[in-house]
Amino acid sequence: MTERKNYTASELLAVMSGRILEDGQIVFAGVGIPLLAATLAQRVHAPGLTILFEGGVVGPFVVPGELPPSTNEQRCTRRANMVLPITDVLLLLQRGYVDVGFMGGAQIDRYGNLNSSFIGNPEKPAIRLPGTGGGNDISSLTQMIVAMKHEKRRFVDAVDFITSPGFIKGGTSRADSGLIAGGMYRVVTDLAILGFDAETKEMQVIALHPGVEAEEVKDNTGFDIAIPDHVARTEPPQENELAVLRDVDPDRLYTA
């Protein structure tokens, strides 16, 4: 598979994660790749998919070329079914109405914990990041899909700070901590689709994207990651999928 790719890494992320979404689901989505992927899913195979935005929006319909820059602005409400206070849209997660939380990630570890708060020691951080936003709530209260670039510095053995809990220390530690619902479901990268071992809750490769070899994933992951010998392969992005992405994001704000 050395043929020239007709899509960017971001488009690959959007297509691969969009395919995981199912018709009829309610998806709590961040802007960027998650929003693009959810919109793609709506237009390709999941017309009954509902998007929720943290700003308080239920079931918006993205207008091509007018992608919102955050989930908390009026553009997010275009052709929405409902607008709610922020706290109430987040409470939908706690009540159990949401099937999937879907966000990007800055740093993730072996057990799917995400860090968006501190690089280095939180007491004296090298970098203070913006923080959790709704990330902690979403990952605490529902099943999660994370879409992110596959880089060694992002895939670490243990995050510096657990902002959004995955499986904490693996095994039953998540439920033991009091988080009785939800958990990390899939991590979608530009190299692979990753899941978590049913028992140990360690991240593992489920499928490799076209043209990607197992070594490439290992090289770009900061911990030992299990890859089955006869690992599955994803289908490359299809023309109709790429066409939708380019229609929705003609300026390539999120897919450059």
Partner 1 sequence: MADRTIVTPHLELRRRTAERDRGLREKVMSLEEAASFVSDGDHVAVGGCTISRTPTALIWALVRAKKKNLVISRSITSSEGDVLLGSGVSKHVITSWFSQGIVWGVSKVMRHYTESRKARFDEWSHMAIGLRYRAGGMGIPYMPVRSMIGSDVNALRGDEVKEVTCPFTGERLMALPALNPDIALIHVQRADAYGNAQLDGLQFMDIDIAMAANRVILTTERIVSNDQIRRAPDQTRIPFFTVDAVVEVPYGSAPHECYGLYEPFFDHMDALAAQTKADPEKGIKKYLDDFYYEPSSWSDYLDRLGAEALIDASRRGRSIYND
Q: Which is nearer to partner 1, 125 or 222 (CB)?
A: 125
Q: Which is nearer to partner 1, 21 or 212 (CB)?
A: 21
Kindly state whether residue 24 participates in binding partner 1, applying the rule CB under 8 A.
Answer: yes
8 A C-beta contact, residue 127 and residue 118: yes
Report how far residue 79's alpha carbon sits from residue 63's, in angstroms, rounded to the nearest whole number: 8
Burial 45-57 (b: 16+ CB within 10 A, else e): ebeebbbbbbbbb
The pair phi, psi for residue 246, each rounded to 5°, is -75, -25
Kindly state whether residue 75 participates in binding partner 1, applying the rule CB under 8 A.
Answer: yes
Kindly state whether residue 85 participates in binding partner 1, applying the rule CB under 8 A.
Answer: yes
Candidates 1, 153, 181, 235: give the one binding partner 1 (CB under 8 A). Answer: 181
CB 53 to partner 1: min, Å:
10
Kindly state whether residue 250 participates in binding partner 1, applying the rule CB under 8 A.
Answer: no
The pair phi, psi for residue 150, each rounded to 5°, is -90, 95
Report how far residue 156's alpha carbon sits from residue 109's, in angstroms, rounded to the nearest whole number: 5
Candidates 65, 69, 211, 228: give the one binding partner 1 (CB under 8 A). Answer: 69
Q: Report CA 6 to chain centroid distance, whole Å.
A: 23
Candidates 10, 107, 163, 234: give the one binding partner 1 (CB under 8 A). Answer: 163
Residues from 102 through 121 that contact partner 1 (CB under 8 A): 113, 117
Report how far residue 131's alpha carbon sits from residue 213's, in angstroms, rounded to the nearest whole number: 34
Kindly state whether residue 211 participates in binding partner 1, applying the rule CB under 8 A.
Answer: no
Stretch that binds partner 1, among 91-99, 144-152, 197-205, 216-224 (CB under 8 A): 91-99
Candidates 15, 162, 188, 205: give the one binding partner 1 (CB under 8 A). Answer: 162
Kindly state whether residue 256 participates in binding partner 1, applying the rule CB under 8 A.
Answer: no
Kindly state whether residue 217 participates in binding partner 1, applying the rule CB under 8 A.
Answer: no
Residues from 36 through 55 that contact partner 1 (CB under 8 A): 47-50, 54-55
Candidates 13, 14, 15, 26: give the one binding partner 1 (CB under 8 A). Answer: 26
Active site residue 54: yes
**Strand 114-115 to 107-109 pairing:** antiparallel
Candidates 64, 96, 211, 250: give the one binding partner 1 (CB under 8 A). Answer: 96
Kindly state whether residue 252 participates in binding partner 1, applying the rule CB under 8 A.
Answer: no
What count of residues does the chain have?
Answer: 256
The neighbour count for residue 21, using CB atoms within 10 Å, is 25
Task: Give CA angle at 238 (237, 244), nearest 5°.
Answer: 95
Task: From residue 54, give the alpha-carbon distance in Å to each of 15, 48, 50, 77.
Answer: 23, 20, 13, 11
Report how far residue 81's alpha carbon sits from residue 50's, in angstroms, rounded to the nearest whole number: 10
Catalytic residue among 11, 54, 202, 241: 54
Active-site residue list: 54
